[in-house]
Structure 1
Amino acid sequence: MEASSSQLRTFGQTEINWDKLDKTKFYVVGAGIFTGVTLALYPVSVVKTRLQVASTDTVERSAFSVIRGILKTDGIPGLYRGFGTVITGAIPARVIFLTALETTKVAAFRMVEPFKFSEPTQAAIANGIAGMAASLFSQAVFVPIDVISQKLMVQGYSGHAKYNGGLDVARKVLKSDGIRGLYRGFGLSVMTYSPSSAVWWASYGSSQRVIWRFLGHGTDLKEAAPNPWTIVSVQAAGGIIAGATASCITTPLDTIKTRLQVMGHEKRPSTRQVVKTLIADDGWKGLYRGLGPRFFSMSAWGTSMILAYEYLKRLCVKDD
């Protein structure tokens, strides 16, 4: 994965270079794997979104009460509102993201190698740059999908409008606001997801190095390769650390972005008005609405996605 010789010496036994992958197999198999992970974790996103848009008079103000309310009114399907829209848009967005991530990471490692930073620092910088770049490239596809799916997630909840599927949302948004309506919150999405992605990948890359060093794996090429379960455990731990770090830093921006994206065109608040409302309702902690589900979501998503991602790369290594 990494370009520098020192990084490859240390982690060549546990990581796979981008140029060693069968790209066609990587994208096709990856679409199936990531769809399965999304299916398993999607309800967490629905709960988080509902908590973030809840008004002061909403009875359901905790994750458990939101789940009970959804199950009572809509059953299990209620936890998957907007899922079809997300999957449709997630596949091209994921292709763009992963391609940009891997290609940028190679260039970033080459860029930072002359500075002779420690391995964890090099990994944090290179992975952070790659994560931010990948997020920026994928936002053009992701933001409209995010707008549509979030409106479906909260329809009929806390005074929000109801729709007949994703196409109905897109039609009504385009009718009322034009194409820019599908990009509401684009600036905040970039400000939220790009730093979040940078922090996530930086934390993931550096924490792995720290953990491997703690476990006593150095740069000796004659070392026996770690067993598969050790590799998976280190990757999972890195995913949890990365998710925890990113969620704590970026939740306020995510809360504001979500509120802007789900508001009807007749309300159309500014970013400042959204912040004032959140603070007036709950004080500064209002900016951290949904932190619990977001923390769980980013940790669970991050760990599941990174394990699926690393497994996918192992599956798609080219035959020598």
Structure 2
Amino acid sequence: MDSREVPRPKVPSFDQTEINWDKLDKTKLYVVGAGIFSGVTVALYPISVIKTRMQVASGDAVQKNAFSAFRNILAVDGIRGLYRGFGTVITGAIPARIIFLTSLETIKAASLKMVNPFNLSEPVQAAVANGIAGMSASLCSQSVFVPIDVVSQKLMVQGYSGHAKYNGGLDVVRKILKAEGIRGLYRGFGLSVMTYSPSSAVWWASYGSSQRIIWRLLGHSRDSEDVPSQWKIVGVQATGGVIAGAVASCITTPIDTIKTRLQVMDNQKRQNAREVVKRLIAEDGWKGLYRGLGPRFFSMSAWGTTMIVAYEYMKRLCAKSEEL
């Protein structure tokens, strides 16, 4: 070899932990993903029910903490009460997640190319690209997700704190369409976009940047040649998920509380966002805007951590074989 030959650049260790969209078998990804994310939803769904109950409760029905809400649900409805609306969510979540993940990965790849010329630090570059991708993916999936959210949350709180009862998800849809038309299925759409899009942007930005920072703290930088072990990769991804969940839940819980209240209201009791805020403050002070913060933080951290570890593992399972 010519001694003047320029040495090959070293590959940053974090790139060895990520699999780009163009390296994935998309069909396998969607099939495997449907199974994995359905399993995660089964495990974490009760937390969403508890959070929703805490956010919509009024007067004497207000629960002091998540454990009280949990005991109340079990006492009144048993285990079934923790899975109210689950059928609707699991049916609609598959197309919503396909849209989300496809948008996320394609936009993230494009965003990384877009910010590359600015010579930003690795954490900032990751935060910007992941944040843009997370927000855009959330916007793309809201058209499917919001009607699912409206129906499932009405089922979660049916018969509770004065809310109406239904005979399943189709009955909810039929009554909403009769009372309000198609607009009823998109009640709170603006607030959902304001909640989930920034939340998704903050979550993915926090996750992307925290990973880079953790790798640096562990001694893996752009000049590192060693490949981290699978357990170390999973540990960093899980830690990044917890950090991202904590940041996103603290920032977006007030908007989520207002959105949830608007979505579960009966048509006769309909209020606007300003009236909802005034009532929450009157009932519980400013801390009323943070009702359900504990379950939401736990849900976002647990869901985010489980989801990201499962998703990254799924990407490794679905990676295309390298051509020789």
Identify whether the pair has TM-score above 0.5, normalized to the shorter chain. Answer: yes
The equivalent position to 1:308 in structure 2, one of 310, 313, 317, is 310
Q: Deviations over 1:145-165 (max 9, x none)?
A: 000000000001111111010
Partner of 1:38: 41
Structure 2: 5+ residue stretches without partners: 1-8
Partner of 1:47: 50
Residues 185 and 261 in structure 1, CA contact (< 8 A), matched pair in contact too: yes
The equivalent position to 2:134 in structure 1, one of 131, 138, 159, is 131
C-alpha separation between the residues in 2 aligned to 1:179 and 1:23?
33
Q: Look up the SS of the partner of 1:12 in the other structure.
A: helix
Partner of 2:266: 264
Q: Look up the SS of the partner of 1:180 in the other structure.
A: helix
> Normalising by the residue count of structure 1, what TM-score does the alignment of the two structures yield?
0.96
- Deviation of 1:64 after TM superposition, in Å, equals 1.1
Q: Deviations over 1:45-90 (max 9, x none)?
A: 0000000001022153321111111111211111000001001110
C-alpha separation between the residues in 1 aligned to 2:291 and 2:269?
21
Partner of 2:235: 233
C-alpha separation between the residues in 2 aligned to 1:156 and 1:208?
44
2:128 aligned with 1:115 = no
Tell me which stretches of 4 or more aligned residues in structure 1 moved more than 6 Å.
Answer: none
Q: Look up the SS of the partner of 1:117 in the other structure.
A: coil
Partner of 2:26: 23
Deviates more, 1:194-203 or 1:52-61: 52-61
Cα 1:59/1:210, change in 2 over 3 Å: closer
C-alpha separation between the residues in 1 aligned to 2:30 and 2:286?
42
Residues 120 and 205 in structure 1, CA contact (< 8 A), matched pair in contact too: yes
Partner of 2:150: 147
C-alpha separation between the residues in 1 aligned to 2:60 and 2:275?
18
Deviates more, 1:122-131 or 1:70-79: 70-79
Q: Which amino acid aligns with 1:182?
A: L
Q: Look up the SS of the partner of 1:160 in the other structure.
A: coil
The equivalent position to 2:70 in structure 1, one of 53, 67, 70, is 67
Q: Look up the SS of the partner of 1:190 in the other structure.
A: helix
Q: Look up the SS of the partner of 2:19 in the other structure.
A: coil
Partner of 2:196: 193
Residues 47 and 293 in structure 1, CA contact (< 8 A), matched pair in contact too: yes
Partner of 1:77: 80
Residues 53 and 69 in structure 2, CA contact (< 8 A), matched pair in contact too: yes
C-alpha separation between the residues in 2 aligned to 1:181 and 1:120?
41
Q: Which amino acid aligns with 1:313?
A: K
C-alpha separation between the residues in 2 aligned to 1:32 and 1:226?
28
Residues 54 and 61 in structure 1, CA contact (< 8 A), matched pair in contact too: no
The equivalent position to 1:214 in structure 2, one of 217, 223, 227, is 217
Residues 152 and 163 in structure 1, CA contact (< 8 A), matched pair in contact too: yes
Partner of 2:4: none
Q: Look up the SS of the partner of 1:318 in the other structure.
A: coil
Q: Which amino acid aligns with 1:159?
A: G
C-alpha separation between the residues in 1 aligned to 2:316 and 2:44?
23
Q: Which amino acid aligns with 1:266?
A: Q
Residues 196 and 250 in structure 1, CA contact (< 8 A), matched pair in contact too: yes
Identity of aligned residues (%): 77
Q: Look up the SS of the partner of 2:16 in the other structure.
A: coil
Count of residues in correspondence between the two structures: 314
Q: Look up the SS of the partner of 2:61 in the other structure.
A: coil
User: What does 1:249-260 correspond to in 2, within 5 Å?
Assistant: 249-260=251-262
Q: Which amino acid aligns with 1:209?
A: R
- Deviation of 1:224 after TM superposition, in Å, equals 2.0
- Deviation of 1:202 after TM superposition, in Å, equals 0.1
Q: Deviations over 1:234-270 (max 9, x none)?
A: 0000000000000000000000000000000011101
- Deviation of 1:9 after TM superposition, in Å, equals 3.2
C-alpha separation between the residues in 1 aligned to 2:10 and 2:45?
35
> Normalising by the residue count of structure 2, what TM-score does the alignment of the two structures yield?
0.95
Cα 1:52/1:158, change in 2 over 3 Å: same
| C-alpha RMSD over aligned residues | 1.2
User: What does 1:282-297 correspond to in 2, within 5 Å?
Assistant: 282-297=284-299
C-alpha separation between the residues in 1 aligned to 2:11 and 2:286?
45
Cα 1:59/1:270, change in 2 over 3 Å: closer
